[in-house]
Structure 1
Amino acid sequence: MKARRSTTGLPRAGGNATPGRRNPLGASTGRRSRVRDRPSATGRAGGWSGRPARDRARIDEVQQGVRYRRVFVTLVGMIVALSAVVVLVGTVGLFRETRSRPLTAEEQNRYKQEEIARRWQAWPSTGIFPEELKYLGLDRAQQYARRVGIAPEARCRDAVDPAVGAVLTEHGCVSMLRATYVDQTSTFVFTVGVAVLEDEEARASAGGDLAQDDRVGVLPVAFPGTVTERFGVQQRQRTGWVGAGPYLVFTTGGYADGRTRAAIGPEESLHSELWPAARSIGNQVAYFLADPPKVPPCTQGNVC
């Protein structure tokens, strides 16, 4: 007889179980279980329990790096922005300083002073001492004095009398330039000396300390082989000076024939045209040196 199946679908007790089927009570009857065993909580550090801690540490490191990077980027941005502001402000200031604008009255005056003060070096010696200079002769007739020669540049104390040299040295005299002229008839000889002071204030102070003595002043310069070769210290009839900018322009005159001051009587000395001619020549040299230059209206020329 065939065995009857239970209405519940289970084999009868004591019967043989069908091969390959799982026992309803959980016992394996031959087929491998599909349920995996969970790893032990007491596994080694590399197991399940160590992995979350390691992951958290890595995440913390990444987050900390992100924070540092944000701080670094913020600082760099602030530095770049500050640098850009500084450059912009500097550029604006430089533009304002360098752009052409009208000169102020103070700047115009300083321009004139600086231009006049450097003429003794900027100009050639023939510009300081022109080849011809005008003067008024007898009956106020216009005549011309002719330049005979220009002396080498000298120290101030070596080109004037000792008393004058002491004053110039005390006030910082820089140099002395000299040239010698003769009148239109070659009767009179004149030596013009330009004492260079540091500035106009020093020149005014030196002029105030000079003694009013027409016997001392610039030393004559004679040029051998010319009509001036007999013009020396004893032949000076009179001396004087005039201020112009930072310069003291000295003048002395005498006779080309070698007559000394002692040989000329007071009456002849007072009515001679020698000294008016000498003073006129010295004044012209001073005028050229201190003639105010043309000042440009703007800092960069004629266009503002």
Structure 2
Amino acid sequence: MGCTYLLTTGVSLTAAWTTLNRPPTSAELQIAANKEVARRWEAWPAERIFPDRITYQPIAGHSEYATRTGIVPDTACAEGVDDVIANTIRRHECRAVLRATYVDQLQGIVVTVGVVAFPDPWKADRAYKELPGAQGPEGTGGVSPALHAAPFAGTASARFTDDARQDRTIDRGGPYVVLTTSGQVDGRPAAAVKKERPGEPFALAPQLGHTIARSLSAKSLPDCDDPLWRC
């Protein structure tokens, strides 16, 4: 009996030691990578989520830079969006809405970008499918429901209010839905814009949203020795 007990204990200890000291499996690394991505909204500095400058192409083959004018400190889900959107994202367990505002290189167009964080990609996808999509032709008198505009005093975005919202876009990456809302830096009310404008004056907005969504959702190779990772 005693020998059997010692043998069983020895096998158990050996199995435990092997489990604790073996390299993580591919499945475990994938789980760790997913967890790291889902924590970025609170683990990354705001300036990393919203870089100071983001490249966009107003026309094919020509690159310009959009410059960040400010980052909103409030991350509450209900504060960053209109009520209809707030109800949808809360239903899918929104964790935060992060917002920052950019102006184009010519400082004629202003874009507020909003990152909506969810617990996992499946909840983000369900919310994405229920949220209003991109705005149609311009000159329709504004967009609602949409992301709230975020003006910053003393910058080119100072006059950008909700009344000036003329365009919206939506994108998704991993557990994040990225919304944008755009207007003109002079703050003219969207209701005053009666005619469609030639070209695509707000073409930078979906590009900014896509760049941020891609950065937030790109998986890194897990480093299980780094305390930031949970392998």
Moved more, 81-90 or 240-249: 81-90
1:188 and 2:109 correspond: yes
Runs of 4+ aligned residues of structure 1 deviating over 6 Å after TM superposition are none
1:248 and 2:170 correspond: no
How many pairs align? 218
Q: Please name the residue that 1:109 is paired with.
A: 30
Partner residue of 2:11 out of 78, 89, 107: 89
Deviation at 1:86, TM superposition (A): 3.9
CA contact (8 A) 2:134 2:170 kept: no
Identity %: 31
Structure 1, unmatched stretches of 5+, are 1-77
* Distance in 1, Cα, partners of 2:225 & 2:188: 57
More helix per residue: 1
Structure 2, unmatched stretches of 5+, are 136-142, 227-231
More strand per residue: 2
1:277 and 2:204 correspond: yes
Partner residue of 1:263 out of 189, 192, 208: 192
* Distance in 1, Cα, partners of 2:127 & 2:66: 29
Q: Please name the residue that 1:27 is paired with.
A: none
CA contact (8 A) 2:104 2:110 kept: yes
Within-5 A mapping of 1:29-178: 78-79=1-2, 81=3, 83-101=5-23, 103-104=25-26, 106-138=27-59, 140-178=61-99
Deviation at 1:139, TM superposition (A): 5.7
Q: Which amino acid in 2 is paired with 1:259? A: R
Q: Which amino acid in 2 is paired with 1:217? A: A
Q: Which amino acid in 2 is paired with 1:293? A: S
Secondary structure of 1:157's counterpart equals coil
Moved more, 142-151 or 88-97: 88-97
Secondary structure of 2:182's counterpart equals strand
Compared with structure 1, are the counterparts of its residues 247 and 95 closer, same or farther at alpha carbon in structure 2 (3 Å cutoff)? same
Higher RCO (C-alpha 8 Å, min separation 6)? 2
Greater C-alpha Rg? 1
CA contact (8 A) 2:172 2:213 kept: yes
CA contact (8 A) 1:101 1:300 kept: no
Q: Please name the residue that 1:234 is paired with.
A: 163
Deviation at 1:223, TM superposition (A): 0.9
CA contact (8 A) 1:153 1:175 kept: no
1:208 and 2:91 correspond: no
CA contact (8 A) 2:92 2:127 kept: yes
| TM-score normalized with structure 1 length | 0.67
Q: Which amino acid in 2 is paired with 1:294? A: L
Deviation at 1:91, TM superposition (A): 1.6
